Amino acid sequence: MDKPADPLLRVCAPIDAAEWERMHAEVRAISAARLAMMNARFVSRVMRYMPKRRPNSQKIVYALGTFGLIVSLLMTLIGGIPYKGYRLELLFAAFFVAIMVVTYFVPAIEALQKRRQPAFNFRLAGFTANRVLKSAKKSLPFDAEYQFFDDKVAYTRIANDKPELRWKRALKGVYLPGDGFTLLYKKQTSQEPYGILLHTSPEVSEQLERLGVKRMVD
């Protein structure tokens, strides 16, 4: 019987409640920052297709809306425009009123969004941190051991001096290193990590690169 291949790298890190809380806070901060970055990129792409703001644009909208309301009122006075049971001049009036109201509140809505966005991102990031560290929290305290082979990585959790092989598989996608851990994502544009490696060794990044898992580029 062939002897199992020796790992190219073996790393082991103790994880206790204090370390878990520290990693949870950092994973949350990283996830919140990533959410903010991706939101900013999305808004930037959308704004490329929007007309540029001008100082007098609000006044122009109000003037056109007022003109539309006057025309709608004149249509009503001469009998309106009935169409399949609807009064088109009233629909036109409602449209102009809606445009004027939205235009009036857009700056306030944008300001409110900017104020609430960081708190919203931080809340969502908390769910991410809870998910990726949920399994680890249940086993505290323990030692996290990773063995890197030619084509796979094995993760063993050692609690009360009892090792338990949690998984052994080929990793994929991209990685994002943190302080004492590495987050794994399926692709560059993924928001949610699919896994986490609990370690403090700088050699892990080299092994991930060797396995084809590339570092995430901001």
Interval 4-32: pLDDT, tens: 678 899 999 999 999 999 999 999 999 99
What count of other Cβ atoms lies within 10 Å of the Cβ of residue 20?
17
25 within 8 A of 126, measured Cβ to Cβ: no
Helices marked H in 48-200: 57-77, 88-138
Question: pLDDT tens across 182-206, in order?
Answer: 999 999 988 899 999 999 999 999 9
Domain total of the chain: 1
Q: Evaluate if residue 140 carries a pLDDT over 60.
A: yes
- Write out pLDDT tens, residues 110-139: 565 566 577 888 888 999 999 999 999 999
Domain contains 122 = yes
The answer to whether position 120 is within a domain reads yes
pLDDT, the chain, mean? 84
**Structure tokens given for 120:** 């919203």
Beta bridge partners of 162: 159
Q: Is residue 4 part of a domain?
A: no
Beta-carbon-side half-sphere exposure of residue 109 (alpha carbons within 13 Å): 6
Taking the C-alpha atoms of residue 68 and residue 70, their distance in angstroms, rounded to an integer, is 5
Question: Does the pLDDT of residue 56 top 70, yes or no?
Answer: no
Are 177 and 217 in contact by the 8 Å Cβ rule? The answer is no
CB 35 within 8 A of CB 124: yes
Residue 158 lies in a domain: yes
Give every CB contact of residue 217 below 8 A, 6+ residues apart in sequence: 188
Q: Does residue 42 lie in a domain region?
A: yes
**What backbone torsions phi and psi does residue 193 show, to the nearest 5 degrees?**
-70, 145
Both structure tokens of 1: 């019987």
Residue 175 pLDDT more than 70?
yes
Mapped onto helix, strand or coil, the DSSP state of residue 148 is strand
What range does the domain containing 111 cover?
9-215
- Identity of the amino acid at 62: Y
Q: Is the pLDDT of residue 2 over 90?
A: no
What do you get for the CA distance between the two ends of the chain, in Å? 47
Is residue 156 domain-resident?
yes
Rounded to whole angstroms, how far apart are CA atoms 95 and 206? 60
In a domain, 2, yes or no: no
CB 72, CB 89: distance < 8 Å: yes
Q: What pTM did the predictor assign? A: 0.69
